[in-house]
């Protein structure tokens, strides 16, 4: 392998083919991959800034019919630990987020058969009515597909209705590896094939939304399939230019049906670096410190990342799989400055919003992540009676008397 030639080509901005990227991914020294990825990052971001966003990762329901075998978060329909957040609970989370300088919710959840399109539209409208400037970065492509299948409406129509209700952008979750062989083995092919996932993103971009793209690696995929995933994203980005950022993280195995071991930190840094080299049409790569920890997150800034992702206020999904690191804004800024960069707050469009919020406002330290709900809270939102349930368990639950306060979480019974 002629690393000198590769270095010249990467420095000149040449595009790598899939085979070239595979050679480098497999055989180039880790320090070399990091140096090349850092060179590309510097070319795209010469100003020496590292950005982050203050938002809150809210999972509106953990009830899911998809049953991906790598997921420790979901509960089956009718399970006693299944929940749907009340609109009021979500409003409270937004108020808490705003107090910390937060500008958006990252709102994702399970494929709950008892939440029809109207529930999402009503929630989004209600959020925008109360918090007009607050952004909704919501519903990954498989969730959009699930809603469209339940509503028996085409994806573009569902996206148009969600935008009309207040959707601002779409997170790139549920991509895992965009190769159908892998998706079948992970039992996530039926929630969205690789083509379906990419098509939702195409439709979103055509409708004027910006989205992110993700990759979860470290299950059953080969090196070739990781690169195929990146090449498919690169092709859509060539078509639409709608992706703002790429985020990759390793599979978190604890408490999952699939089990197994987690990929190493070196594997993460090599994967991040090769992504920076392959995804030449993506401006932003995030450091996934929530799964890799703050120290590897900081190292990511030398392996192609230019963004620290989100300040974590709440986390439920990674935590369920046994790993979740907590860094508040103070800690993120400390890591960024210690690595020699200037930290700046941004929005989802990567527009700079300003300097660290805590330096201008009196905010409490967040040393522990919030949960969707406190353990043992089995309340059922009163407003759910307004929406038709498809599952037998959901219909039974909604037939029971509910709290008289519309919009309030009613102290009814568990989802069981």
Binding site for ligand SF4 (CB under 6 A): 64, 66-68, 71, 73-74, 110-111, 142, 188, 191
Q: Is 188 exposed, middle or buried (0-12, 13-18, 19+ CB in 10 A)?
A: buried
Smallest gap, in angstroms, from Cβ of residue 142 to ligand SF4?
Answer: 6
H or E stretch at 311: strand 307-311
**If we measure between CA atoms, which residue out of 137, 135, 160 comes closest to residue 147?**
160
Smallest gap, in angstroms, from Cβ of residue 146 to ligand SF4?
Answer: 8
Distance CA 231, CA 106 (A): 26
Smallest gap, in angstroms, from Cβ of residue 59 to ligand SF4?
Answer: 8
Nearer Cβ to ligand SF4 (9/67)? 67
Nearer Cβ to ligand SF4 (25/83)? 83
Smallest gap, in angstroms, from Cβ of residue 141 to ligand SF4?
Answer: 11
Smallest gap, in angstroms, from Cβ of residue 416 to ligand SF4?
Answer: 19
CB 191 within 8 A of CB 140: no
CB 72 within 8 A of CB 148: no
Q: Where are the extended beta strands (E) located within 2-126?
A: 49-59, 104-108
Angle at 307 between CA 202 and CA 17, to 5 degrees: 55
Nearer Cβ to ligand SF4 (123/188)? 188
Nearer Cβ to ligand SF4 (160/220)? 220
Smallest gap, in angstroms, from Cβ of residue 68 to ligand SF4?
Answer: 3
CB atoms near residue 81 (< 10 Å) = 15
Distance CA 103, CA 106 (A): 10
Nearer Cβ to ligand SF4 (37/71)? 71
End-to-end CA distance of the chain: 59
Nearer Cβ to ligand SF4 (23/187)? 187
Q: Find where tokens 């997150």 sit.
A: 297
Smallest gap, in angstroms, from Cβ of residue 127 to ligand SF4?
Answer: 21
Nearer Cβ to ligand SF4 (251/358)? 251
Residues shown for the chain: 416
CB 51 within 8 A of CB 306: yes
């Amino acid at each position: 392998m002629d690393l000198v030639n590769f270095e010249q080509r990467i420095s000149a901005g040449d595009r790598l083919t899939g085979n070239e990227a595979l050679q480098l991914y497999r055989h180039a020294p880790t320090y070399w991959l990091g140096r090349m990825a850092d060179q590309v990052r510097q070319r795209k971001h010469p100003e020496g800034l590292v950005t982050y966003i203050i938002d809150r990762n809210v999972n509106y329901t953990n009830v899911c019919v998809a049953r991906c075998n790598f997921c420790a978060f979901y509960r089956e329909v009718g399970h006693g630990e299944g929940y749907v957040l009340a609109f009021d609970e979500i409003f409270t989370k937004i108020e808490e987020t705003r107090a910390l300088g937060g500008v958006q919710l990252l709102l994702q959840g399970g494929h709950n058969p008892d939440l029809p399109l109207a529930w999402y539209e009503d929630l989004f409208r209600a959020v925008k009515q109360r918090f007009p400037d607050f952004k909704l970065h919501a519903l990954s492509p498989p969730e959009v597909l699930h809603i469209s299948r339940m509503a028996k409406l085409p994806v573009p129509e569902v996206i148009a209705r969600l935008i009309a209700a207040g959707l601002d952008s779409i997170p790139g979750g549920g991509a895992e590896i965009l190769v159908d062989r892998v998706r079948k083995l992970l039992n996530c092919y039926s929630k969205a094939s690789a083509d379906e996932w990419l098509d939702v993103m195409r439709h979103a971009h055509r409708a004027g939304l910006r989205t992110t793209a993700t990759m979860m690696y470290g299950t059953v995929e080969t090196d070739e399939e990781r690169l195929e995933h990146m090449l498919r994203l690169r092709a859509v980005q060539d078509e639409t230019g709608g992706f703002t950022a790429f985020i990759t993280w390793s599979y978190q195995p604890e408490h999952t049906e699939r089990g197994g071991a987690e990929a190493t930190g070196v594997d993460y840094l090599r994967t991040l670096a090769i992504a920076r080299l392959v995804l030449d049409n993506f401006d932003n790569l995030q450091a996934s410190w929530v799964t890799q920890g703050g120290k590897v997150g900081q190292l990511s800034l030398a392996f192609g990342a230019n963004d620290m992702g989100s300040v974590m206020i709440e986390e439920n999904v990674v935590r369920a799989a046994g790993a979740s690191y907590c860094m508040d804004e103070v800690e993120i800024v400390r890591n960024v400055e210690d690595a020699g960069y200037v930290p700046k707050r941004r929005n989802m469009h990567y527009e700079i919003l300003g300097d660290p919020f805590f330096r201008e406002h009196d905010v409490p330290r967040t040393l522990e992540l919030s949960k969707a709900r406190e353990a043992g809270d089995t309340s059922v939102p009163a407003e759910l009676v307004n929406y038709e349930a498809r599952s037998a368990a959901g219909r039974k639950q909604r037939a029971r008397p509910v709290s008289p306060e519309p919009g309030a979480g009613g102290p009814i019974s568990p989802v069981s």
